[in-house]
Amino acid sequence: MHLYEINTEIALLMQQLAVDEETGEILTSSEDILQQLNALDMERSRILEYLAKVVLDTRAEAAALKAEEERLAKRRRVFEHREERLIEVLDRECSGQKTDLGIATLRYRATSRVEVSDSAKAISWLRRHKYRDCIRVKDPEVDKTAVRRLLTDGNTIPGIALVTGQSCSLK
């Protein structure tokens, strides 16, 4: 039986029971209904326990995969660093000359990059000469931690709401 079926059966059985509004006492003396309710409740508990075990097993599997990812990432970084050191040795030995190494060829190409040593002077010059497209200005951002304090102090801020919810955890 599925969990939703059990919940439906329990609801139907509860509707069949007549309960005194003042005392909460069950008026109908139906042992059969109470036995069915107990059996369904036990089945429901068994299913919920199984689901909790699945959650814990899944959590453990995810943790193991994360540890494996970290181990592999560390190993990858070792190989990348090793590659860089070996390329440096080849570069030093070939002295910037294209070299045929049998299974591979070491080649060189010219590269260029922009290096900003004094950004204040550069920005001033770019503004003065109307090269505004060369200047990037970051958009302002809302500091959610500071805004939370304002909202909890009773302030109302247009476009912002403090949303409450529930989180569920299994330990």
Per residue in 4-35, pLDDT tens? Answer: 888 888 888 877 777 767 776 766 667 778 88
Residues of the chain short of pLDDT 70, as ranges, are 20, 24, 26-29, 168-171
CA geometry: angle 28, 29, 35, nearest 5 deg: 110
DSSP state of 165: -
Stated pTM of the model:
0.57
What is the C-alpha to C-alpha distance for residues 103 and 107, in angstroms, rounded to an integer? 13
C-alpha distances in angstroms, 91 versus 25, 55, 58, 79, 84? 90, 53, 49, 18, 10
170: which residues sit within 8 A by CB, 6+ positions away? 52, 55, 56, 59
